[in-house]
Each structure stands twice: as C-alpha cells, then as structure tokens.
Amino acid sequence: MQQRNGARELGLIVATLAAVGRFVTDEPLWVATALTVIVAAAGTASLLGELRPWRWPLDRVSLPAMAAFASVGVAHLIDPVPWLAGVFAVSWAVTAWAVSIETASATPGGRAASVTRDGTHARSTAARLGAFGLAFLGFAAIGGIVPGGIAGDGQPLSVAAFLATIVLDVAIGGLAGYRIAAVRPHSRGHAAVAFYQYSMIVAPVGVLVRVLALPRLFGPAVLVLAVYILTSLRESDEPVRFNARLLEETGVLILAGVAVVVLGLVVK
C-alpha cells in the first residue's frame, strides 16, 4: 500500500511539473523537461530503496522517465484551455501506473518481495506494453519540446532542431528497447547492447520520418513500428532464418509501414 501511495504521489508531482512547464518556452522549457524527468527517475529509485544516482536501476526508472518526458511534451501540444486539465489528469494516471509497475515487487526497504509466477508475468507484460505505449507518446511529445519536431506540422525545422529531434528519438527508442530487453533475464552488457541496437534502428527511421515530413502522428507510428519489428527479431526463440512465422509477420509489418509512409505522402 505504501508503494501504491508513493506511485500516486510521484505521479501527482510529475503531472504538476508538466502542467506548470506548459507556460515556459525555449531554454527554460528544456530545463523544466530535464527536471521533470529527473524527478520521476529519482522518485522511482527512492521507492525502490536506492538513493545514490549512480546506483539507480536504469531498467526500473526508464518507464517513469519516459512518462515524465511525454507529459511535458504533450502538454505543449495542446491549448491550455480547456485541455490542460485533461492532460494533467492523464499524466498523473499514466506516470503513477508506470511507477507502480516498477515498484510493485519492492518492499519499502528496497528488497524484492516474493511473487507468484503469474504476478511476475503480469508485470513483465505490463512493462513491455508500457514501453511501446510510452515510446509512441514520447516520439509524439518531441514536437512539444522542439519546434517543428512533429513532421508535417508546417513549422520550419532548423539544423539544430533537426539534430535535437534525432537525439531525442534515439534516447526514447533506446530506453524503450532497454526496458523490453530487461523483461527477460539479462546482464548489464546485454541490456546495453539492446540500447545500442534499438538506437541504431530508430536513428535512420527518425531521419526518414523528418525528411518525408509525414503528417502529425504518422511519424511516431512508424518509429514504434520499427521498435516492434526489432523486438520481434531479437526475441525469436530460434534463428530468424528458420522462423517462417516470424519472417511472414515481419514482412507484413514492413508492408504496413510502407503503406503508412505512402498514405502520409498522399495526405500531405
């Protein structure tokens, strides 16, 4: 119960910071975004019993950090009246949910509690789905942090802003991949390799999305599709070339991505 209350309180803090951050721009917005993300990560680590920043479990603070970033970015994509109140409520709920996933198996002293196999599986499934969902929100939220960060919104994108969007794409995609990889038994080296692989896939796709200037949410959808395809390939229980079903599904997903790009160009 204490962990649940802590998750709700941390979600309230993050939602409040995101709502207040709606009224700042330029350099102060970057500071507010960084502060909100750090608060989410530090609060989650504290609930896990780890106060030293260099000892924070990256896999357990990734989802709350992504939720915090998405909260700030989405708040900047909407009109303050009347939509900011709705974003505040959703940000509170989503952040509290992400924190509760990561702290559900920890006691107040930071020790792992004994859980059933079904409970562990349920949290792993929730973490995986949360990574995909928050990645989509994060990719979309970049447009609220970087002017013109959402392709196709009609705003000019400077070289600095273009580089900033790619860096944020890489960070979000890498963290999502890191968390997905950490669902299974892993070492730090294995998780680091996962971060690198997801980053290397997301970076060129992010460039393609901005160059093609796909309308609004088409870009985030294509980026999440790339993350999902890589996840399917990485988690294959047998060599990919021998997994006919996986190859067929991957082919269908690639065709779906191509269709989204073509449709986006037609709409544009």
Q: What is the pLDDT of residue 37?
A: 95
155 domain-assigned: yes
Domain range spanning residue 97? 1-114
Q: What is the pLDDT of residue 238?
A: 62
Distances (CA, A) of 265 to 76, 218, 220: 26, 10, 15
Peptide bond into 82 cis (omega under 30): yes
CB-neighbour burial class of residue 262 (10 A; exposed 0-12, middle 13-18, buried 19+):
exposed
122 domain-assigned: no
Contact 24, 16 (CB under 8 A): no
Please tell me whether residues 42 and 85 are part of one structural domain.
yes
Please tell me whether residues 93 and 26 are part of one structural domain.
yes
Q: Does the pTM of the predicted model rise above 0.85?
A: no
Q: What is the pLDDT of residue 116?
A: 44
11 domain-assigned: yes
Please tell me whether residues 22 and 100 are part of one structural domain.
yes
Please tell me whether residues 82 and 170 are part of one structural domain.
no
Residues 6+ apart with CB under 8 A from 211: none
Q: What is the pLDDT of residue 27?
A: 86
Please tell me whether residues 95 and 196 are part of one structural domain.
no
109 domain-assigned: yes
69 domain-assigned: yes
132 domain-assigned: no
Amino acid at 252: V
Please tell me whether residues 167 and 96 are part of one structural domain.
no
Q: What is the pLDDT of residue 108?
A: 44
Q: What is the pLDDT of residue 265?
A: 62
Q: What is the pLDDT of residue 30?
A: 92
Q: What is the pLDDT of residue 268?
A: 56
The two structure tokens encoding residue 138: 């994060």
Of 91, 114, 137, the position where a domain reaches its end is 114
Please tell me whether residues 158 and 264 are part of one structural domain.
yes
CA 191 to chain CA centroid, nearest Å: 16
Number of separate domains in the chain: 2
127 domain-assigned: no
141 domain-assigned: no
In sequence order, which ranges of 78-217 are alpha helices (DSSP H)? 80-103, 117-145, 159-181, 188-212
Of 114, 135, 164, the position where a domain reaches its end is 114
Q: What is the pLDDT of residue 237?
A: 63
Please tell me whether residues 106 and 157 are part of one structural domain.
no
Of 93, 114, 135, the position where a domain reaches its end is 114
Please tell me whether residues 255 and 168 are part of one structural domain.
yes
Please tell me whether residues 92 and 156 are part of one structural domain.
no
Please tell me whether residues 152 and 266 are part of one structural domain.
yes
Query: Residue for token digits 């980053």?
Result: 199
Q: What is the pLDDT of residue 10?
A: 93
Q: What is the pLDDT of residue 32?
A: 92
Amino acid at 91: S
Alpha-carbon distance of 54 to 57, in angstroms, equals 9
Please tell me whether residues 157 and 268 are part of one structural domain.
yes
The two structure tokens encoding residue 50: 């780890």
Residue 180: which of 197, 205, 167, 165 has the closest Cα? 197
Intervals of the chain under pLDDT 70: 1-4, 105-122, 148-156, 186, 215-216, 236-250, 252-253, 257, 260-261, 263-268
The two structure tokens encoding residue 6: 């802590």
